[in-house]
Chains A and B, each alone.
Chain A
């Protein structure tokens, strides 16, 4: 038994830009091996979607099962002989409500009621391979795929009904598929209904299993139990990057029912109760080497490294500034957790993750077991926001379960969640922009260090623009987050745009519209401004107004803010947000996502920041790390712009990007103080002012 990589093996030094948010490598690897898992459908109608054309699947032939699904199958739908419709997708439900919106899409195309359709999601033994639920990709890709599968199933059923001289209704689905099992395949060329013909999709639909959530009946990973299950605790290092030198585990091992596992840098215990596991953990005397002692005090200089200053060229008015972005935590209310159970050399893990197949691969790498011996099941999860891409808890629980020879459950504490998950990247952004006397942007130089490339490109027409992302060495473990880089890039760009509007003595809205060449973004900007009453806004002492806009992941958003500053503190009085993401699938669900993104965005905009020094996290608990709460939420007007003529884009992330710059611009308007760091007001208005 040996650990090949510890948590601080930094992985590849260079990553593809669009995979930047998946940068973090696995934390552990252990020895082991083996294979074999079987999936079968013995009867009924099975419709497969082949994602790539040309990878021919036989149509109309009995499906034998037994083998692994070809990797180009993107989704499937099964109609059983009792008429039950089951749809299989590798996507995960993490609160973004796709279990409902995907069900709506299938109901629409199949012509069956929502209540008759069930979705099996995120189970590596039952659902097609899926890269993961991130990047706002579920609606543009999976929704479209399930539409095609359902449309193809409808076509098969319609043919059979016609052959038997019957009218096709959901009540005869079962009878139509009786007999020898049938497999139909569809390719991406099948055309589903246009949004203009939708009757089920496009309407508000309640959460399909909402009742389970308001009654406490839904079982999250943290709520699962297995026969003779043990509870695990992990002995954590006292600082980032510390390595285990020595551990005296004798006292813990002598406790009744306690299993202790030491494997390289990994040290964990399991016991019949949580309390006994905690006592065993406390009884271990572990000695750790010091780590690199990362500190927030040198963070931004560290990230920028030795890069030289940037020069702006041309233009009558020039504005140059540096913006900084702190690390923040996802703090999903359900912490990372896993239940792991070995049966011989086969492993089943229940865990809350956005990447069930990614976690399966982590387990393959950690235990050297073939993928078909490892099953990962994701119960609908207590949120993620990009924070649950990795399988840390799954690997830890599985490692201890293998030694204990019993099922093991591991639930991270809130402190572990803050310390040992990963953070939204911190960053430094240098911007220089020039504007002519006529209000036309003439030059733009933009350098982002470490926060990521997404949302880097300006949507404004600028003849002379240089925009670069510079990957850096992050002192803390970092990874995906809801709109991570786009939030940073929009904060810098849209703050800078207001400074340039001031330099040109123009209204911020007029200035943006003058320089925009994108009709959809201009429409979103006008929709937000109109709802907000931008033109009729009235300045008064201490009150200010700001706006911001942007394009991200196929969505177009604009935000307007009104703030009041007095006695060194800032109150957000109201916000208006417009969002356009093509054809809207579930308007109420979309409103919920937009408003939720804005509320979450308030935290990173105003006060959330990870504090660390000497390689230690200083504020890793809710009493020290402030998240948005009831009293922090201003009135929020959400305007949804429906474009039924355009394909649906995702919505979970984009509405977050305008929050910080709109508020920052409103603070500038109210006080004359330009704040160029996220969070902007962790301790109220900064004493030192950067007058524009």
Chain B
């Protein structure tokens, strides 16, 4: 939109071209300064594995990994992630092989409705990368700190899946 209607906040309609590195691929997208990474991933790039749950960083459903860190994409401006390595749930599978934590979620059936699962797995991947041999208490503390919510209550199975993945690597 070249001309902003006067009642729009001006920042809303200045579109910038940015290049996002998502799952190893450079993607050029047009974003407004206020656009969250979550909305760009879902609505512009059609990477819908990353979920909206609360819009205030309190449920972890939108968690992605940026430069190795678990990041809540609903609380992150897309424009500020330019040039950084963004991994979403769609980027974990390699040549048809699932990430070990994805396999562990299947093995432990660490899900019910599955809506929280991508955010749980991304938070878990970031945690296990930094903490390859965690205790149960450390897993619980880290996932709790990332605010991940499973309303179906599969927390014990998620802890088991993370533990199993850590042990399988040692």
- Asked if residues B106 and A211 are in contact (CB atoms below 8 Å), the reply is yes
Q: Is the CB of B35 within 8 A of A275?
A: yes
Partner of B39 from the list A220, A254, A274, A383 (CB cut-off 8 Å) is A274
Say yes or no for A636: interface residue by CB 8 A criterion: yes
Give the contacts of A594-611 with B (CB-CB under 8 A).
595-600
Give chain A interface residues in 395-422, CB to chain B under 8 Å. Answer: 411, 413-414
Cβ A215 vs Cβ B43 within 8 A: no
B67 at interface by CB-CB < 8 Å? no
Q: Which of A64-72, A295-303, A331-339 contacts B (4 or more CB under 8 A)?
A: A331-339
Residues of B within 8 A of A599 (CB): 153-156
Distance in angstroms between the alpha carbons of A279 and B51 in the assembled complex: 22
Interface hub of A275, A335, A597 (most chain B Cβ within 10 A): A275
* Distance from B36 Cβ to chain A, minimum over Cβ atoms (Å): 10
Contact among B12, B112, B143 with A96 in the assembled complex (CB-CB below 8 Å)? B112
- A216 to B90 CA separation, bound complex (whole angstroms): 6
**Contact code string B105-124 (vs A, CB < 8 Å = 1, else 0):** 11001011111111001000
| Interface bits A322-360 vs B (CB < 8 Å: 1, else 0) | 000000001111110000000000000000000000000
* Chain A residues whose CB sits within 8 angstroms of the CB of B59 once the complex forms: 333, 414, 622
Asked whether B46 lies within 8 Å of A225 as measured between CB atoms, the reply is yes
Residues of A within 8 A of B140 (CB): 630-631
| B residues less than 8 Å from A113 (CB atoms) | none
A630 proximity list for chain B (CB < 8 A): 140, 143-144, 148, 155, 158-159
Interface residue? B16 (CB, 8 A): no
A292 in the interface (beta carbon within 8 A):
no
Chain A: minimal CB distance from B146 (Å): 9
Known: A592-B109, A631-B141. A214 touches B155 (CB 8 A): no
With a cutoff of 8 Å between Cβ atoms, the chain B residues found around residue A385 in the complex are 151
Q: Is A654 an interface residue (CB 8 A)?
A: no
Say yes or no: A414 contacts B148, CB within 8 Å. Answer: no
Whether A39 sits at the interface, judged by CB under 8 Å, is: no
Q: Are B112 and A95 in contact (CB-based, < 8 A)?
A: yes
The listed residue with most A CB atoms (<10 A of its CB), out of B35, B46, B48, B159, is: B48
Q: How large is the interface on B (under 10, 10 to 19, 20 to 34, 35 or more residues)?
A: 35 or more
Are A206 and B112 neighbours in the complex by a CB distance under 8 Å? no
Q: Write out, one digit per residue, whether chain B residues 73-110 have a CB within 8 A of any chain A CB (1) or not (0).
A: 00000000000000011101100001000100110010
Tell me whether B20 is interfacial, beta carbon within 8 Å. Answer: no
Give the interface residue-count category, chain A. 35 or more
- Contact residue among A211, A275, A382 (Cβ-Cβ distance under 8 Å from B113): A382
Residues of chain A in range 182-221 having any CB-CB distance to chain B below 8 Å: 206-207, 210-211, 213-220
Residues of A within 8 A of B114 (CB): 95, 213-214, 218, 380, 382
Given contacts A413-B55, A623-B58, contact A215 B48 (CB under 8 A): no
Q: Which one of B53, B106, B148, B156 contacts A206 once the chains associate, using CB atoms below 8 Å?
A: B106
- B105: chain A residues within 8 A (beta carbon): 210, 214
A216, B111: Cβ atoms closer than 8 Å: no
If A414-B54, A621-B56, A621-B58 touch, does A216 touch B149 (CB 8 Å cutoff)?
no
CA distance A331 to B93 in the complex (A): 30
* B5: chain A residues within 8 A (beta carbon): 251, 254-256
A689 proximal to B (CB < 8 A): no
Which residues from A are CB-within-8-Å of B90?
Answer: 215-217
- Give CA–CA (A252, B52) in the complex, Å: 26
- B26, CB-defined interface residue at 8 Å: no
Per-residue contact bits, chain B 1-13, to A (CB 8 Å; 1 contact, 0 not)? 1000101110010
Interface residues of A, Cβ cutoff 8 Å to B: 94-97, 206-207, 210-211, 213-220, 222-223, 225, 251, 254-256, 273-275, 279, 283, 330-335, 380-383, 385, 411, 413-414, 588-589, 592-593, 595-600, 621-623, 627-631, 633, 636
Q: 8 closest A-B pairs (Cβ-Cβ)?
A: A216-B49, A599-B153, A95-B113, A382-B115, A213-B114, A216-B89, A223-B48, A622-B58
Name 26 interchain pairs, CB-CB below 8 A, sorted by A.
A95-B115, A95-B152, A206-B106, A214-B102, A215-B89, A216-B88, A220-B115, A254-B5, A332-B113, A333-B150, A333-B151, A335-B53, A382-B114, A383-B113, A383-B115, A383-B152, A414-B59, A588-B109, A592-B109, A592-B157, A596-B153, A599-B156, A622-B58, A623-B58, A629-B155, A631-B144
| Residues of B in contact with A (beta carbons under 8 Å apart) | 1, 5, 7-9, 12, 32, 34-35, 39, 42-43, 46-56, 58-59, 61, 88-90, 92-93, 98, 102, 105-106, 109, 111-118, 121, 140-141, 143-144, 147-159
